[in-house]
Structure 1
């Protein structure tokens, strides 16, 4: 099989634990592009955060952000695909989080907003290199279009919250975890799988000609639709179970291994 498009998650996949793309992986990305392969990112991060890394790695194609709720060009920043959380769901989620005293944050026009400054927000902003804004009257923010809302709490508790929210919000939203302590709510078509399907069609490629690489459960939709779904060596067990191939970890240039095996040295 000749693969023509590679979609790569960022955190714990493309970058190592030092938050870096290693020189070896960077070289592999450049070699894949030189072979005519479209290399893109597929991340839960905001576009502003993801595009910085994409430009550093010399990519110049549309990238998948907000778990798939936004696909945007790097060159002219044209929006190609966008899905907002339904307004009714946003309001229900706001009321639920207020009642449960849960930390809720969201993105408006690629800016991060929260109701109050706390350690959860500070840690998140540091992790993603993201500036944040405080709006005490948070309903003003909730009533604006957003690609993603995010709750931060303990993993086990978030598992319970997810069950309750799926019942409360229904089938119009997509709920997933990007990390054990991040519960994210998007439009039902705001998944990496939907976005990869769109992007493959945009470039005129079949999904069978696509490779998807990830480590967390929020990657499973794109691994399932791609012709080759790859789980990192450090991926969660559930993702490894459904993957077609398991590569090395993010600290062992796992992305480089995939590119070399299935693109550069493919027979």
Structure 2
């Protein structure tokens, strides 16, 4: 019997129109009614994720910033928090400025960048997020952040990731949430560790959890969960490690998982 299900948001819970379908919404409610903890696990900022969580009627702690922040929806109490080490933040800013890369950071759940450009505008539009400009990068680098995000061409980012790992060492966790998004967190900022934390918080074993996702940033939680589920539209590497592959995000894949394994 599964007691907790953690669901990624983009390209997993929501379809390509960025909506939770009525059928999936009903399945979420049925799972909650059965006493199962239904939570979200996303790379998004809390502000962006909580809007979707509240829309679906959830009132539990949710996993945000890839696992760097677990925060309760009801009273907004922070349960788990990890910041990118300050030394790493400085190095990433310096690297991105030297190589003219687009870098954005999150301060108090607000999105910041050094300059306004099309990458920032497109990202903010996609996530319905407001953004702020702070040209003085040293000011930004001094403030604690749960996540840094570099936006660029997918192939370029695949080459960049190992360079940054070498530069920053094992103090950080580097992953891709989308082909053109490279994200840098504290090394304990993973969806897998956040899932372990939440299972413990709700008094269940990780073997009693389900994790559902579509991108490589979901692999830690799929490996951690008792049942790791990849969406039909997931990247091939994630499907390879999944215990089960469901329908796509446009075919109510999440509903299918809930129907099959919870209801």
TM-score when normalising by structure 2:
1.00
Q: Which residue of 2 aligns with 1:14?
A: 13
- SS of 2:189's equivalent in the other structure is coil
Q: Could you tell me how far 1:138 is from its partner in structure 2?
A: 1.5
Q: Does 1:259 align with 2:253?
A: no
Q: Which residue of 2 aligns with 1:192?
A: 191
Q: 1 CA distance for matches of 2:240 and 2:83? A: 31
- SS of 2:129's equivalent in the other structure is coil
Q: 1 CA distance for matches of 2:21 and 2:93? A: 40
Q: Could you tell me how far 1:139 is from its partner in structure 2?
A: 1.5
Q: 1 CA distance for matches of 2:61 and 2:137? A: 31
Q: 2 CA distance for matches of 1:101 and 1:119? A: 14
Q: 2 CA distance for matches of 1:24 and 1:139? A: 48
Q: Which residue of 2 aligns with 1:26?
A: 25
Q: Which residue of 1 aligns with 2:134?
A: 135
Q: Which residue of 2 aligns with 1:82?
A: 81
Q: 1 CA distance for matches of 2:119 and 2:85? A: 25
Q: Could you tell me how far 1:142 is from its partner in structure 2?
A: 1.2
Q: 1 CA distance for matches of 2:180 and 2:140? A: 23
Deviations 1:28-67 (A, max 9, x none): 0000000000000000000000000000000000000000
Q: 1 CA distance for matches of 2:103 and 2:259? A: 41
Q: 2 CA distance for matches of 1:59 and 1:248? A: 23
Q: Could you tell me how far 1:175 is from its partner in structure 2?
A: 0.2
Gaps of 5+ in 2: none
Q: Which residue of 2 aligns with 1:145?
A: 144
Q: Could you tell me how far 1:251 is from its partner in structure 2?
A: 0.1
- SS of 2:174's equivalent in the other structure is strand
Q: Which residue of 1 aligns with 2:241?
A: 242
Gaps of 5+ in 1: none
4+ long deviations beyond 4 Å: none
1:218-233 superposed matches below 5 A: 218-233=217-232
Deviations 1:195-253 (A, max 9, x none): 00000000000000000000000000000000000000000000000000000000000
Over aligned residue pairs, what C-alpha RMSD do you find? 0.3
Q: 2 CA distance for matches of 1:47 and 1:139? A: 24
Q: 1 CA distance for matches of 2:141 and 2:72? A: 26
